[in-house]
Amino acid sequence: MTNPVELGARSELGDPERLARHDAAVFDLRTRRDAAAAEVPDWEALRERAAAIKAHSLDHLDVYLEEFETQAARAGAVVHWAGDATALQRIVGNLLEERGVQRVVKSKSMLTEECGLNPHLEARGIQVVDTDLGERIVQLRHEPPSHIIVPAIHRSRQEIGELFHRHMGTPRGETDPERLTRAARRDLRSRFLAAQATITGVNFAVAASGSIVVVTNEGNADLGMSLPRLHVACVGIEKLIPCMEDLPVFLRLLARSATGQPISAYTSVVTGPRPGAELHIVLVDNGRAGLLAQESHRSALACIRCGACLNTCPVYRRSGGHAYPGPIPGPIGSVLAPAMQAGGAALAHASSLCGSCTAVCPVRIDLHGQLLAWRRETLRPWSSASIASRLAAWVMARPGWFRFSGRIARGIWPVLRRRFPGNPAHGWLRTRDLPPHPGPSFATRWRRERENT
Amino acid sequence: MSDREAILSRVRKATTHTASHPGAHPPPDLPGGFERFASRLRAVGGEAHGPVAAWALGEEATRVAGLRAQGGRILATEGASERLGPGPWVVAPPDTPPGAFEDVAVAIVEGTVGVAENAAVAVEGKHARHRALPFLCRYLILLLPTASIFPDQHRATAALPEDAYDDHHLTWISGPSKTADIEQTLVYGAHGPLSLDVIAYEER
């Protein structure tokens, strides 16, 4: 079995310079997170509180969903329910079409990525413009985001300069981030003013007041929510929190874990539509209730999408987001994939189980424990991996067999290292190198040392 | 079965209603006050001024707005203008369409409470009836009573008036609009204001 991550990694970050830049950029975010967390005296208590609030909310999700629906409706919003991706596409598409909307500005939402909303709307003739700068970059390049907080972290300023030259008319060779950002601001400002609707994701949904909470640094979601008459907010059902008093717990953790900022630049609590406008909130399941039913795995639904586990993950840092087949990369993506998408179980094997993700997760999801659990649950009893593991366990428990197999392995090692059809390691070697043999066995070296002294 | 019923029935089957809510988080012991707020605001790219006496607020706002506007249009919300008295600002009529704020250089808006640990200022919907104004202007100025600066996000949230969320939105604003999406280089003014000034004043 070849792991999808391995193949993707080779194609995406094959160039060592690109790999090194990606690794450094991502780890820089981890460093910032550490500094920010260290400044908060009650950091560990906050994480614990956040985990407990999420565990409570998820275990009472039916109650909070109904409360949210009632309160949001009372505030004047229209609440819709979407069982799966197709339902979300249909609901949003119809809302826009019924109002003759042709131009939509959108702010970042991993949920709509997951549900393929953009391609669906475009197929219906609706122009969708992503307005988060990083999202806009990957949209113009026709590629998916590679990081949930910094979507274009895998692209260099040269590549972005070239892209903006073609699409926004910046001078050829312009690579200054400030001037490129200004160009995007001008270009997108006109699209904001011309938009007839906005689509946003939601960071938290507050059951007691029917409010949605939308967090950005750029202010793009707020421009979207304040200009066109129609706002469609897409919410995964796991985003519910009980009441406004719980919100500060998450706000204090989210930005610090994501980028090391004490809080994001804009945190908007939206309750009902603004006067003369419409607010539609779509609550989306798309596999979440199924994950909720698996009690040993449901903690993954507590994720607040800060990206901290990506930034610290040795596998993500050296492979990039595009190496992961699903919408969400990194440890949390690998934990969600087995439950949420076909063939997702393979991702659980792309981990060294170092546990760094678990150490940084602001809501204390047991990420590496989850990966291990998925491995155990998804390993087929007669697969080659399973047979090999059991054989190894048998041999290692028997010193005579162990020494004997060691001698054989040392004999055929130089042949095993070469790739050729018929070599049992052929597939394995496609994405790995077998290191040179270390020489005589430990037991042999030990004996020699003893004899020489 | 409708999607609503299907989702709720799946969720009902999956929940046990046993995990209890842990209760409110006890606020940490953090430094508060204007100085702390001002240093955090600097760290997130904004600038704090004052604190000034309430009677001197108009004068300070005139100075700061003038520095930013460089002759451009200065708009104040109705509440801010009442607090400031006469000055170089005008108040936008209630029915101004949002697109008309595109050429505004400076907007002056009232903030309700501030947070020392993260330099966030709460702007209530009723103080920003023109929802687009604080985001379309090039430079934003917020007015904040010094007595309403709290050490942490918990205390500040608890101190908001009961009707704070009633007028469609409440936005916590911490520093100017920013992005680091191009090679992690921090740039202010991604979509919203290029700068944020907070003028603190002592209420009588």
* Predicted pLDDT of residue A1: 42
Separation CA A245–CA B23 (nearest Å): 9
Choose among A177, A266, A275: nearest Cβ to B182.
Answer: A177
Question: Model confidence over A56-70: pLDDT tens digits?
Answer: 999 999 999 999 999
Using the predicted structure, report yes or no on whether residue A364 has a pLDDT greater than 80: yes
Question: Model confidence over A152-188: pLDDT tens digits?
Answer: 999 999 999 999 999 999 999 999 999 999 999 999 9
Q: How close does chain A come to B154, measured CA to CA in Å?
A: 6
Q: How close does chain B come to A449, measured CA to CA in Å?
A: 54
* Predicted pLDDT of residue A4: 58
Q: Do A289 and B14 make contact, defined as CB atoms within 8 angstroms?
A: yes
With an 8 Å Cβ cutoff, is B169 touching chain A?
yes
* Predicted pLDDT of residue A383: 81
Q: In what order do the strands lie in the sheet with B139-145?
A: B47-53, B195-202, B139-145, B104-110, B73-76, B90-91
CATH topology of domain B30-199: Rossmann fold (3.40.50)
Write the secondary structure of chain A as one string of H (helix), E (strand) and C (coil). Answer: CCCHHHHHHHHHCCCHHHHHHHHHHHHHHHHHHHHHHHCCCCHHHHHHHHHHHHHHHHHCHHHHHHHHHHHHHHCCCEEEEECCHHHHHHHHHHHHHHCCCCEEEECCCHHHHHCCHHHHHHHCCCEEEECCHHHHHHHHCCCCCCCCCCCCCCCCHHHHHHHHHHHHCCCCCCCCHHHHHHHHHHHHHHHHHHCCEEEECCCEEECCCCEEEEEECCCHHHHHHHCCCEEEEEEEHHHEECCHHHHHHHHHHHHHHHCCCCCCCEEEEECCCCCCCEEEEEEECCCHHHHHHCCCCHHHHHCCCCCHHHHHCHHHHHHCHHHCCCCCCHHHHHHHHHHHCCCHHHHHHCCCCCCHHHHHCCCCCCHHHHHHHHHHHHCCCCCHHHHHHHHHHHHHCCHHHHHHHHHHHHHHHHHHCCCCCCCCCHHHHCCCCCCCCCCCCHHHHHHHHHHHC
Taking contacts as CB-CB distances below 8 angstroms, the residues of chain A near B14 are 61, 289, 292-293, 298
Range list of H helices, B15-56: 33-43
* Predicted pLDDT of residue A433: 82
Which of A206, A217, A264, A301 to mutate: most B Cβ within 10 Å?
A: A217
Which of A115, A138, A223, A239 to mutate: most B Cβ within 10 Å?
A: A223
Separation CA A311–CA A291 (nearest Å): 25
* Predicted pLDDT of residue B204: 67
Separation CA A110–CA A219 (nearest Å): 18
Q: How close does chain B come to A202, measured CA to CA in Å?
A: 14
Question: Model confidence over A287-311: pLDDT tens digits?
Answer: 999 999 999 999 999 999 999 999 9
Taking contacts as CB-CB distances below 8 angstroms, the residues of chain B near A282 are none
Architecture of the structural domain at A42-286: 3-Layer(aba) Sandwich (3.40)
Choose among A53, A56, A272: nearest Cβ to B168.
Answer: A272
* pTM for the whole structure: 0.93
Q: Do A267 and B120 make contact, defined as CB atoms within 8 angstroms?
A: yes
Where along chain A do its domains lie? Answer: 1-39+298-378, 42-286, 384-452
Taking contacts as CB-CB distances below 8 angstroms, the residues of chain B near A22 are none
Q: Averaged over A339-348, what is the pLDDT? A: 82
Range with the lowest mean pLDDT among A302-316, A322-336, A439-453?
A439-453
With an 8 Å Cβ cutoff, is B10 touching chain A?
yes
* Predicted pLDDT of residue A8: 60
Separation CA A265–CA A218 (nearest Å): 7
